[in-house]
Amino acid sequence: MLQDELNGLSKKIAGFREPADASEEQWNNFTAKTTVALMAGGESSRYAAVLNGQQVNKNAHQLPNGDTMIEMAIRLYRDAGIKKFVALVYHNAHSIEERLGDGSGLGVKIVYSHDPQKPVGKGGAVHNALVNGSIPADHNLIVVNPDDVILDFPTLARFIGSAHIEGVKKNMLATAVLAPGQAYASTGMMVVDNQVIDTQMYPHIPVPAHVGITIFSPKIYPRFKELFPLSEKNDFEQVLFPILAKEKKLWSVGLTKGTWIAVNDLKSYKQLIEALPPKLQN
């Protein structure tokens, strides 16, 4: 009964359809004018149990198969034809730079934007990179959290890029990439007049969740300068998304394929390790 009710609620909360694949001309135009921003500045205190004292950013932490989360993310977009990257760094930035260099080893170009003196959050990091020229003013921007790992979806970049191209035609300014719903890590209960009438372990809660990937069009860049002063720490999901939703300028695409693992602690790290191939594949 409980899951039946949740399934009915799902239809009311979100209805996803897959985007039409962009034409080759559309895709080539998109990739030529797109930069991927790799969010790699956070301290990640919950991941400390995995690092065990290593002075390394979690995104550059070498996994048992020789890979890193940040390189996994880069390859997803590189293999779709996107070759321009900016790493937005702060905590243990040296480990990101030492691991990636200029990107030539991966067949891409990587530049670095360091937070100014103190962490400024994701909104401020994008603002700062716009100011210092790391993000070209005429490029689309795909903001990626490398520790939000997407597995078993090799065509992810083209899938979400096609959705953004579709949204731009409807005058949208940004596209949020969402998981249609997730299992709730507890026992769900259905209650009528205080009596529990049904229970279910790990019920699927049908509320779409942002998977740490957002595509922005260049027209939105003035908003970053207006909303995210470099003297404060703010994330654009909290500040910008509600504004765009109210203005009806926020598009979305649902990940109806692949697996999303938010790697932020020892438990999720072990989940990632179990899902990885045994050896690094370049």
State the CATH number of the domain containing residue 89: 3.90.550.10
Residue 202, domain member (yes or no): no
Closest to 138 measured CA to CA, from 150, 128, 130 = 130
Residue 195, domain member (yes or no): no
Residue 271, domain member (yes or no): yes
pLDDT along the chain (282 residues), means of 10: 74 81 96 97 82 88 94 97 97 94 97 92 96 97 96 96 96 94 80 85 83 97 95 93 96 91 92 83 59
- Report residue 216 CA to chain centroid gap: 12
State the pLDDT at residue 281: 57
Residue 3, domain member (yes or no): no
Residue 282, domain member (yes or no): no
Cα separation, 125 vs 119, whole angstroms:
8
State the pLDDT at residue 118: 85
Cα separation, 233 vs 218, whole angstroms:
22
14: its two tokens: 């979100």
Residue 156, domain member (yes or no): yes
**Full domain range(s) for residue 165:** 23-178+208-275
Residue matched to tokens 């065990």: 52
State the pLDDT at residue 48: 80
pTM for the full predicted model: 0.91
Residue 87, domain member (yes or no): yes
Q: Based on the structure, what is the number of domains in the chain? A: 1
Residue 149, domain member (yes or no): yes
Q: Using an 8 Å Cβ cutoff, are 92 and 204 in contact?
A: no
Burial 93-112 (b: 16+ CB within 10 A, else e): bebbbebbeebeebebebbb
- Which residues have CB under 8 Å from 26's CB, separation 6+? 162, 165
